[in-house]
Amino acid sequence: MSEPLVLGIETSCDETAIGIVRGRTLLANEIASSVEEHARFGGVVPEIASRAHLEAILPSIERAVNDAKISLRDLDAISVTAGPGLVGALLVGTASASGLAQGLGIPLYGVNHLAAHVSVDYLTHDLPTDPTIALLVSGGHSSLLRVDDITGSITKLGATMDDAAGEAFDKIARILDLGFPGGPAIDREARNGNPTAIDFPRGLTTSNDWATRPYDFSFSGLKTAVARYIESTPVNVRADVAASFQEAVVDVLLLKALAACKSSGIDSLVIAGGVAANSRLREVATERCAKAGIQLRIPNPGLCTDNGAMVAALGSLMVSAGRPATKGAFDADSSLPVERVALA
Ligand code: KG4
Ligand code: ZN
């Protein structure tokens, strides 16, 4: 089927998100977020997220179907995030999706949230000539991937050894009193600061690291360095700290992503996940990729953070590639590895 009509359901964290695509055309992208209910706790509270998903999911599906001007009966398939994520939150999505798919008598795809982040780029850019390198940077994960086929062949080249990039943004924002979620807040604050004011460490970039784990990341040393700097500097300039911290993260992410392109001989890079919305990451990536002759693809900022369009996009690609649907009733897998694009 070349232009399948697919509804995607995403409930892995604090967004109840529904996307509808026809082939690679986005028809609806409905997002209900419970982020404000979590803000006073400084992070996502799983029980609150699950309850919010239960309340939001049916009205969100209804709104998306109305936006797309389709009827549920027109759908060719449903896809749903099966993992990784918060198990209680995921279950709201998978239970709703299987009920809907069974009721409509259409195939259901239980797909990987991380692969979905990468696949959303296929909606806005021409199909990348596989293989491509993908830098996946979200609140829960940071990895460098080699994608030979987004519907079935993803190899992990490296990953963070401690915090995810988004998690580092969130933690530093808390130290700087910038609120939650921290990524967008640091992005804004950094615009008033000097990115070269403070030379914060770039994790895992010694010559030994390049020899032994070139594509892994570590942000814990950077986090400690920022905390120490703030404690020991009486008049610290918050904007300079935010800008210099952001610069260190952006620098190390791109150093490693471009090194992966170079050593694999792949001149295509996709950057995906919530942190890909970062304006400085987008800017520096554009400059460095142009210089290195690497074709860069980053989804629009609104499609970088969690959304349903990405889940629908991956579902649509699975259908078009003739991949088999997920069989029978299936459980969510809170720690689904990135190499498993979909459940069998
Ligand atoms: O992909 P995502 O929406 O959810 C997960 O799958 O985790 O990523 C959320 C993460 C959060 O840590 C958030 O602070 C970060 O993405 N983020 C950003 C920006 N927007 C969101 N980080 C840096 N700059 C941004 N503009
Ligand atoms: Zn995500």
Q: Give residue-wise pLDDT tens across range 129-175.
A: 789 999 999 999 999 999 999 999 999 999 999 999 999 999 999 99
Ligand number nearest CA of 310 is 2
Question: Which ranges in 131-206 belong to alpha helices (H)?
Answer: 165-175, 182-190
Ligand number nearest CA of 139 is 1
| Residue 208 Cα to ligand 2 middle (Å) | 31
**How do residues 17-55 score in pLDDT, each as one tens digit?**
999 999 999 999 999 999 999 988 888 999 999 999 999
Closest atom of ligand 1 to 15 CA is 3
Strand partners, 83: 112
Query: Is 86 within 8 Å of 15 (Cβ atoms)?
Result: no
pLDDT at 342 (0 to 100): 97
pLDDT at 42 (0 to 100): 83
Q: Which residue has the higher pLDDT, 108 or 236?
A: 108
Query: Is 14 within 8 Å of 51 (Cβ atoms)?
Result: no
Atom 7 in ligand 1: residue holding the nearest Cα:
139
Mutate to test the pocket of ligand 1, among 112, 223, 305 (most ligand atoms within 8 A of CB): 305
Which pTM does this prediction carry? 0.96
- Alpha-carbon span 90 to 143, nearest angstrom: 21
Alpha-carbon distance values, 198 to 98, 171, 241 (Å): 51, 18, 7
Q: Is the pLDDT score of 309 beyond 90?
A: yes
List all residues whose CB is within 6 A of at least one atom of ligand 1.
13, 138-140, 166-167, 169-170, 181-184, 187, 273-275, 277-278, 305-306
Q: What's phi and psi for 154, nearest 5 deg? A: -125, 130
- Alpha-carbon span 279 to 90, nearest angstrom: 30
Alpha-carbon distance values, 55 to 48, 59, 204 (Å): 11, 8, 43
Closest atom of ligand 1 to 170 CA is 14
- Alpha-carbon span 53 to 44, nearest angstrom: 13
Strands (E), 218-323: 268-272, 295-297
Alpha-carbon distance values, 45 to 79, 89, 172, 191, 322 (Å): 25, 10, 19, 30, 38
Helices 279-292 and 238-264: angle between axes, nearest 10 degrees:
30
Ligand number nearest CA of 165 is 1
Mean pLDDT of 235-246: 94
